[in-house]
Amino acid sequence: MNIAHDTNTACPTAPKRVVGRFAPTPSGRMHLGNVASCLLAWLSVRSAGGRMVLRIEDLDPRAQSREAARLIMDDLRWLGLDWDEGPFWQSERAEIYAAAIDRLGGSGIEAGSRGLRLTYPCFCTRSELHAATAPHASDGTYVYAGTCRGLSPDEVAARAAVRPPATRLRVPEADDPAGVIGFCDLAYGEQREVLACECGDFLVRRSDGVVAYQLAVVVDDAEMGVTQVVRGRDLLGSAPRQMYLQSLLGYGNPEYGHVPLLVASDGRRLSKRERDLDLGTLRERFETPSALIGAIASRLGLAEAGETLTADALVPRFSWKMVANHREDIVVDEDFLSFV
Ligand code: GLU
């Protein structure tokens, strides 16, 4: 499960041909907070002569819009961040995800989970989940207490007649080495997580039938040939679940590079509610993206303070070592916004 290490660098050696991806969720206009992760994903790929895939993560039909996706693509182009394949739309791939969930469901015994199926129906409501919460995971999410792990077929049938279940994936017990996931992040270095302690059995499909993010992203990254996942550090804690899924589905592990978030002066993550920082507003103020790219690049050690430059001009300057040395979150304060 561990990614192979180069003994000198303690980080994974780069695969021969890098395939990276943009994976925006079209729940609104692209935001300043997303620009840094898209820029770094693109720089990492282009500096390695690799290929970029664009995947629109429009899984949840309630929250997504084609119009937002169109605007995000337009914003990426304005930023000078191009792609070679896609867009692929998750909303068009439901059958592929369903087949992967079926594969997981049929593979309990081989996976060594004590003869139990790897997936099981879960009837817990949101409030039951919170009431039965085991000690909190480090990222503030709950650890599933295993309430529906041992339901008999009769109990499942009786409950399914009342409400449709979600589908959960069993993780190995805390003392089972198969559930200890280690990897080396390109920016944040060595990571290690015991799945049973950090998340417990996790969802692969919601009770409304929509496939869970963790499952979709793993299937898509593998099927689209992605070798390098670069995204905000808020998703660092998802990587071990995704690596566990990759091993169960017989996929290789991509390398992971999580990148700093843009935060407000009080450390709060910038949100889509801050309309003044969305790309629609920023594009009204600037003819070109160079000042914005320069401001982000300077916080990452890739440009001098006050420098304005294109994404293209940053390609020869990019290195993960530099990002790793500047991995504190980027504070969007008066000083940052003085480029405005
Ligand atoms: N769709 C997610 C987002 O927009 C990113 C998922 C990923 O990069 O794995 O936050």
Ligand 1 and 23: CB distance under 6 A: yes
17-21, 59-63, 324-328: range with lowest mean pLDDT? 59-63
Q: What is the pLDDT of residue 179?
A: 96
213-223 helix and 239-248 helix, angle to the nearest 10 degrees:
60
Q: What is the pLDDT of residue 142?
A: 83
In this chain, the answer to whether the domains covering 16-92+224-339 and 94-216 adopt an identical fold is no
Query: Over the stretch 90-99, which tens digit does the pLDDT of each residue have?
Result: 999 999 999 9
139-143, 267-271, 309-313: range with lowest mean pLDDT? 139-143
Place of tokens 């008999």: 152
Ligand 1 and 217: CB distance under 6 A: yes
Gap from CA of 25 to ligand 1 centroid (Å): 6
Gap from CA of 128 to ligand 1 centroid (Å): 27
- What are all long-range contacts of 279-284, with beta carbons under 8 Å and residues at least 24 apart? 279/29, 279/30, 279/31, 279/32, 279/35, 279/71, 279/75, 279/78, 280/29, 280/71, 282/32, 283/75, 283/78
Looking at the domain 16-92+224-339, which fold is it? Rossmann fold (3.40.50)
Q: What is the pLDDT of residue 141?
A: 73
Does 4 have pLDDT greater than 50? no
Q: What string of DSSP letters covers 238-267?
A: GHHHHHHHHHHTTPPPPEEEEEPPEE-TTS
Gap from CA of 24 to ligand 1 centroid (Å): 6
Query: Over the stretch 124-153, which tens digit does the pLDDT of each residue have?
Result: 998 888 776 665 555 667 899 999 999 999
For the chain, domain boundaries: 16-92+224-339, 94-216
Q: How far is CA 170 from the centre of its chain?
A: 21
Q: What is the pLDDT of residue 110?
A: 46
Q: What amino acid occupies position 6? A: D
Task: Please state the rounded mean pLDDT for residues 222-239.
Answer: 97
Distinct helix (H) and strand (E) counts, the chain? 13, 12
Looking at the domain 94-216, which fold is it? Glutamyl-tRNA Synthetase; domain 3 (3.90.800)
Q: What is the rounded average pLDDT for all residues in the chain?
A: 89
Ligand 1 and 40: CB distance under 6 A: no
Ligand 1 and 235: CB distance under 6 A: yes
Task: List beta partners, residue 113.
Answer: none
Gap from CA of 23 to ligand 1 centroid (Å): 5
Distance CA 146, CA 324 (A): 37
- Ligand 1 atom nearest residue 37's Cα: 8
Question: What is the pTM assigned to this prediction?
Answer: 0.91
Distance CA 144, CA 203 (A): 10
**Percent of the chain scored above 70 by pLDDT?**
89
